[in-house]
Chains A and B, each alone.
Chain A
């Protein structure tokens, strides 16, 4: 009789505890577990994750911004740092950021215990430095990203023009798109040169 076997099973389990001793005991998570996102020092601020995040949990904004404040206020100040915020409360733990990160800087770690008494520290923040344009001084792109793109260009471009590109790169890499356009004649970086 199955009912009796169930009864026997229930009796066998009597007094035993099946639940784990959380929070004192923390069960290990499997290697692929997708817990709280962690951003490492390798983050260069390219914002690929912010672009792809399905729930819009990743936000980026330049920091230290002051508006130009009119003609009397002197030269305008711009953001010098880029702040990346992961709103953990909005996070879906889907791992898309981990998938698109070119530097493998973001990882969904093994942390699943999110209770905190300090809500301000709940979100994840990272700051990266923005590079200032070599001509106008306006910060325009994360420094790490510029360096990474520079290396990638040299690495992946047609070997026949690699030396020419490598020689020209330091001159225009650190210029903002506007300045790059205005002084491209002086720099002689027209595409024709490389074809």
Chain B
């Protein structure tokens, strides 16, 4: 009996035998559950070690809404994602909150509450996440339950809400615009003397309505839109989106396209990690290192420009394959640049690792224990730095990752230094993957894009994910049978990592806060997307 059958069987038991399951492919299962049973279903899945990846809401018009819980079983022997759907009425969209069971649902429920007007009954902290805090309309206008702990399921004392952690303490506001922050976000740091007791985050200042815009454009035009969700992860976003659309239509992309996509995604990881490292050095005050790293990073950007014509927005992935080929002269040039980059990365890496000052600023700071990492559902280098070997490239391989050989860098310490070392190790792995992709490109002939992409059925859905530089990036695409998607749900990795800051920063001194915040590599403009709401009017234009 496969893990999937076992999970589905248990789910049927938990929800009173009313699961109507249907699936698409071996690694995905979509099940419909009664809305009164979401708690039981979540509890069952948590017992299996599932992580709540995201909550999506599908607007079904007069039929109401589907609230979809995407659970991922990362440690299963075969990749498995279970999406449990519960339908709620349009007039009174009410559903039981699962935040008391798992803190992973906290932000996801708050976001869906304010964007779709779903009421999550029992959520202990329904303040606005994206909308202004004083926004009075709709649900989520401020019901706060004092002293609640979330995630008590499975023993332990759970995670305390930031509001309670800060109660009776002095508050230091940081942001929205502040020299220590690169992006617009508001932090309220609760301090007891020099020590931080809790952090309350308020994102939403760079909200551009991308998910709503995506519903109004054709699938092809959306490729360029999702590429601009993030200023760094353009290749990851398009790869995840295109993969999702390809899953909708059952399209297999040619081998060359898979290698090129993998190459671009890994190039992006190098670009992202070097940029992060440079900024971390800047936060430490090691500015000559910042400049040295940025100079080497320039090679990656030049390579991207040479291959695709753009330094940041490469526009390489398209539905069914890639736009531009890497062959002949360009391939030789890329190989030469990679070799120079390899030397540079090695020397930077050893300089950063052995610098006593850098070590002292990072070691033991901002510790996230493995247990907390699992409980909070953090992803990417933050999870791997805490000893959780979670990597979509291994657990749910896409593109060419099942063919290339690479290791998952992990550390068990869970401090800022561990996260830094994970990223340094990943730089070397990424370089190796890039080289392997170029080798394979040289030995493979054929087209770079599928001939034809079929039309999608009404109600077809696809859940795709990639390992972006910051962790698991998830796309959930629903078709309505037209040339425009009914829903493009984007769950960026930082959306899972940012809420963990409260746990990570607890007990640190205020002076260490910038570097510790930086150590999780938060991408706040990615986290803010979804839809723009202006006085009740859904805005179509960003």
Complex alpha-carbon distance, A3 and B348, angstroms: 11
Nearest 4 pairs between A and B by C-beta? A54-B224, A32-B309, A34-B309, A2-B351
Task: Give a binary string over B353-382; 1 marks a CB under 8 Å from any A CB, 0 the rest.
Answer: 011000000000000000000000000000
Which stretch from A61-69, A93-101, A155-163 is at the chain B interface? Answer: A93-101
23 A-B residue pairs with CB within 8 Å: A2-B350, A2-B355, A3-B351, A3-B355, A6-B288, A6-B289, A18-B295, A30-B305, A32-B305, A32-B308, A32-B324, A34-B309, A34-B310, A52-B220, A52-B221, A54-B221, A54-B223, A93-B313, A94-B224, A94-B313, A96-B220, A96-B224, A99-B323
Contact A92 B221 (CB under 8 A): no
Give A160-180 interface residues, CB cut-off 8 Å to B: none
Contact A33 B295 (CB under 8 A): no
User: Taking the complex as formed, is B393 at the interface, i.e. its CB lies under 8 A from any CB of chain A?
Assistant: no
Task: Report A-chain residues with C-beta under 8 Å of the C-beta of B309.
Answer: 30, 32-34, 95, 108
Complex alpha-carbon distance, A9 and B307, angstroms: 31
B485 → chain A closest CB, angstroms: 14
Give A24-61 interface residues, CB cut-off 8 Å to B: 29-30, 32-34, 52, 54-55
B447 → chain A closest CB, angstroms: 16
Closest to A93 in B: B310
Contacts A54-B217, A92-B313, A94-B227 known; list 13 others, CB within 8 Å: A2-B354, A3-B354, A3-B355, A6-B292, A9-B292, A30-B305, A32-B324, A33-B305, A34-B309, A52-B221, A94-B315, A95-B309, A99-B323
Task: Give a binary string over B280-305; 1 marks a CB under 8 Å from any A CB, 0 the rest.
Answer: 00000000110010010000000001
What is B's interface to A at a CB cutoff of 8 Å?
217, 220-221, 223-225, 227-228, 288-289, 292, 295, 305-310, 313, 315, 323-324, 347, 350-351, 354-355
What is A's interface to B at a CB cutoff of 8 Å?
1-3, 5-6, 9-10, 18, 29-30, 32-34, 52, 54-55, 92-96, 99, 108
A152 → chain B closest CB, angstroms: 20
Closest to A7 in B: B288
State the majority secondary structure of interface residues on A: loop
Complex alpha-carbon distance, A179 and B289, angstroms: 73
Complex alpha-carbon distance, A19 and B391, angstroms: 38
Task: Report A-chain residues with C-beta under 8 Å of the C-beta of B323.
Answer: 95, 99
Contact A92 B308 (CB under 8 A): no
Task: Report B-chain residues with C-beta under 8 Å of the C-beta of A94.
Answer: 224, 227, 313, 315
Complex alpha-carbon distance, A96 and B351, angstroms: 43
A189 → chain B closest CB, angstroms: 31
Task: Report A-chain residues with C-beta under 8 Å of the C-beta of B225.
Answer: 54
B101 → chain A closest CB, angstroms: 41
